[in-house]
Structure 1
């Protein structure tokens, strides 16, 4: 049985003062029936891990280098994330694909590195507005799943997050039926490649302007097992509402 996951991506936001929000979130959820994850900037990761220790909240990285070590100035390996206290890492976010030119092959290598280090890889997929408007969404998703998801994926080491690029930070959200179409499609792709047992064990997250006021509706969609949340995860008060909505979904 796959577990629900509420994941927060702080992106390039947060200095030491922001850790008070994480402290508040941890106080709100000393225990929970779902998984709760915050991915802060790398500069806060070690301290964040200490704050959430012995609570239901865990922490993860926002990216990792595929290599284990070496001459990669500014990069962070999956092993380094583990050492800092991470239990997961986001790979293939559209902002990495677009801002840094990351291709599916790079994303797959990073996901493999994360799995090899013993942490979950949250592999992000999603289409642009142009691709949506030209009815290429499912083709894009199929290409990204095929190219970005490693062969050694299981329900224990993989999470897939569907984030339509045009919905991230814009306030625009696909219709519930559009969300269901993509999530059902992803589940089918995983079934065809890995078999039903594995496919049914991989959590599928929706991301893209998830907020306290729309979370309940989104979580009611079949095959939506949680959310990858951006801006609304920066405040414990907002993210707590989303977490509670997922707990009762």
Structure 2
């Protein structure tokens, strides 16, 4: 069976007027009223402060994702949130390994792998982010970097059925730059080949590999037509006015139309 197309909206911690109760509820209202492609799985990741607000008001067929999760099921860890707390609140997804966590917060490959295991053990599905810096790409190490990040996770887990791999080149996140269709497809194909070799044929065939990095409704159509691009993780474009996230969902799924 073909892999179900996947679009995630990562709302991050943007300044007002984005990232407020009003802006978040406006996005939820737009999504609830949009005639979205039923073949596309849509997951949104609001800041932790708003996660229950979104889950309460977002229609049931759309899922809500935490932007973070800790690698322990419980304990005296001020400021952290566990997989069990998320699932108890009706949250079924979490982001793990985003470059902003790796670079700004200093999260290592091993810590990210440990968080992935804890999330899966706690019945969450995971959007696992991987990607290289500009220096790493320019030195020809892109595939080495992303497979190193994947190998760290493989050392901790065996079942990849609840993982979506998000390839996000660090040099393209929030910069306005975007990988060419050829660059994106090359890395996505390499990821799928790694899955086939290191995890198994079924994982290679079924695991969705999505793209993120300054992707928007103007460039997503061509990217979506690549054989190994199964969707997108959208950052800034998921918070823009005029329901750009809804438009993005239409264009990336190839349906066109208006919200």
TM-score computed with the length of structure 1 as normaliser: 0.95
The residue aligned with 1:8 is 9
CA contact (8 A) 1:91 1:122 kept: yes
Distance 1:136 1:61, change over 3 A: same
Deviations 1:228-247 (A, max 9, x none): 01000113611112211232
Q: Give the distance between the partners of 1:64 and 1:86, measured in 2 at CA.
A: 11
1:186-224 Cα deviation digits (max 9, x unpaired):
001111111111221111010000111111011111110
Task: Return the match for 1:26 from 32, 47, 51.
Answer: 32
Higher helix share: 1
Q: CA deviation at 1:31?
A: 6.5
Q: CA deviation at 1:145?
A: 0.8
Please say if residues 83 and 119 of structure 2, whose CA atoms lie closer than 8 Å, have aligned partners that are also in contact: yes
Give yes or no for contact 2:37–2:250 (8 Å, CA) kept in 1: no
Moved over 2 A (4+): 148-155, 245-249
Residue-by-residue CA offset, 1:64-103 (whole Å, 9 max, x unaligned): 0010111110011111122222111000000000011111
> Is the contact made by 1:65 and 1:78 (CA closer than 8 Å) also made in structure 2?
yes
Q: Give the deviation of 1:23 after TM superposition.
A: 1.6
Give TM-score scaled by structure 2 length: 0.91
Structure 1, unaligned stretches of length 5 or more? none
Matched residue pairs, number? 247
Q: How much has 1:30 moved relative to structure 2?
A: 6.4
Distance in 1 (alpha carbons) for counterparts of 2:228 and 2:208: 8
1:154·1:201 contact (CA, 8 Å) conserved in 2? Answer: no
Give the conservation status (yes or no) of the 8 Å contact 2:167–2:212: yes
Contact 1:45 1:84 in 2 (8 A): no
Q: 2:43 aligns to what?
A: 37
- Does 1:52 pair with 2:58? yes
- Structure 2: gaps spanning 5 or more residues: none
Q: Which moved more, 1:11-20 or 1:163-172?
A: 11-20
Q: 2:82 aligns with which of 59, 68, 77?
A: 77
